[in-house]
Structure 1
Amino acid sequence: MTKKDFVVDLNKPLVFQIGHLGEAYDKWVHQPIVTKEGPRFFENQVLELLTLTVWWVIPLIWLPVAFWFISKSVSFGITFSNLAASIACGILIWTLLEYSLHRFLFHIKTTSYWGNTIHYLIHGCHHKHPMDSLRLVFPPAATPILLIPIWSLIKLLAPATAAHAVLGGGLLGYVTYDCTHYFLHHGKPGKGLQSELKRYHMHHHFRIQDMGFGITNSLWDRVFGTYPPGYGQKKTT
């Protein structure tokens, strides 16, 4: 149920207000508020704390898990070349997953009360408040929701000796993604690749928000035709 001409009160917890925007939600959420202070989501303090994650928790938790999976393949007697190929395969799979989730889930169009509410929680909040540092990386408690079906699929498709290394590579790709994403918003990139990645991602936030879905690279944007038109071209006078 939505309310006609509903206006969000930014001074109150946001999550249960958002759904009332209805069809106006998509326009509202893509008008960023660029401040370092994040909004309050919930009145309940426990729920509020569950939405906050510092960036360094991601490598702290998931790098040991990634290396454990890789070590399992080593213990199964995988050759070095196959180990390297399996890790690289896992990283490549992650880059495709990174692109696909961002394009087809994080940027899905919603108009219903619960559709808007859920979308705001998983990604809309990031576009509305792109400098909110505590709601930028994926909460570790939620990651297994994605990890379990991916692991089941890898075990089904990959050889037993390589499956663990493929997942380990995927986790390395994920950690790189989340840390890179945080750095692009809050770090100070130097020249070269760092600067270009930041410029590419800021173009997605502030210029064309329905293109440029890659975070760590633009490979799949180029493959699937979502590379921003005219991006990177020098202006002529």
Structure 2
Amino acid sequence: MLTRTRWWVIPMVWLPAVGWCVRTSIAMNVRVPLVATCILTGILAWTLLEYSLHRFIFHIKATSYWACTFHYLIHGCHHKHPMDSLRLVFPPAATAILLPPLWGLTRLLAPEHISYALLGGGLLGYVMYDCTHYYIHHGKPSTGEFHHLKRYHMNHHFKIQDKGFGITSTFWDKVFGTLPPASNKKSN
């Protein structure tokens, strides 16, 4: 039950948290241009976390019964049933478990007054990621970037599962050399 979530729950739960983080930074006298820079930095950091989680955690080679069960619950069920609309976004309970260590890392890397905006940007990146992931599975984009992302992600699901780990972008796949061969032929 905790692995099934409707897509609209993600923005409903996390966009207020994004707003609170941004408002808190502004209330701590951080100027708006710096807040905006922190939000963009948080979004960029999320894309790296998105790629890393997908590549190194969600596609880990599990061998024991419990490791296989855990893997199936966090990502295997999505690959087994990629069109299950209730298994396309990361459940808020799981995100809430990951949030304290991410907040701790953010606080370690940045002063408190801008940490809130950075975390807000990271959470906004997460919301964008989950909504994008849902749309590229269930939407029908016929042109443009979403069409490209849908083809790219479906290639990951149905052809080359050990490449193409980016969901919202192919950027980190380019950086780390995990573009699928078909994607290397295109100029992305």
Provide the C-alpha distance between the structure 1 equivalents of 2:154 and 2:176, rounded to a whole number of angstroms: 20
Provide the C-alpha distance between the structure 2 equivalents of 1:136 and 1:78, rounded to a whole number of angstroms: 36
Q: Which has the higher contact order (CA 8 A, sep 6+)?
A: 2
State how 1:126-165 maps to structure 2 within 5 Å: 126-165=78-117
2:63 maps to which residue?
111
Runs of 4 or more consecutive aligned structure 1 residues displaced over 4 Å after TM superposition: none
* Identity among equivalent pairs (%): 65
2:124 maps to which residue?
172
- Structure 1 position 181 matched with structure 2 position 133: yes
Normalised to the residue count of structure 2, the TM-score between the two structures is 0.95
- Structure 1 position 81 matched with structure 2 position 33: yes
Q: After superposition, give the CA deviation of every residue in 1:188-231 in whole Å (9 maximum; x if it has no partner).
A: 11411110010110110111100000000011000001011232
Provide the C-alpha distance between the structure 1 equivalents of 2:100 and 2:22, rounded to a whole number of angstroms: 17
Provide the C-alpha distance between the structure 1 equivalents of 2:159 and 2:60, rounded to a whole number of angstroms: 18
Q: After superposition, give the CA deviation of every residue in 1:118-148 in whole Å (9 maximum; x if it has no partner).
A: 1000000111110111111111111112111
Normalised to the residue count of structure 1, the TM-score between the two structures is 0.76
| One-letter amino acid of the structure 1 residue matched with residue 154 of structure 2 | M
**Counterpart selection for 1:209 from 161, 164, 168:** 161
**Counterpart selection for 1:95 from 35, 47, 56:** 47
Cα drift, residue 232 of structure 1: 5.8
Q: After superposition, give the CA deviation of every residue in 1:80-133 in whole Å (9 maximum; x if it has no partner).
A: 221111101100110000000000000000121111111000000111110111
Q: After superposition, give the CA deviation of every residue in 1:142-186 in whole Å (9 maximum; x if it has no partner).
A: 111211101011111112221100000000000000010000111
Q: Is the 8 A contact 2:2 2:93 kept in 1?
A: no
Which ranges of structure 2 fall in alignment gaps of 5 or more residues? none
Looking at CA atoms only, which structure, 1 or 2, has the larger radius of gyration? Answer: 1
- Structure 1 position 220 matched with structure 2 position 135: no
The structure carrying a bigger helix percent of its residues is: 2
RMSD: 1.2
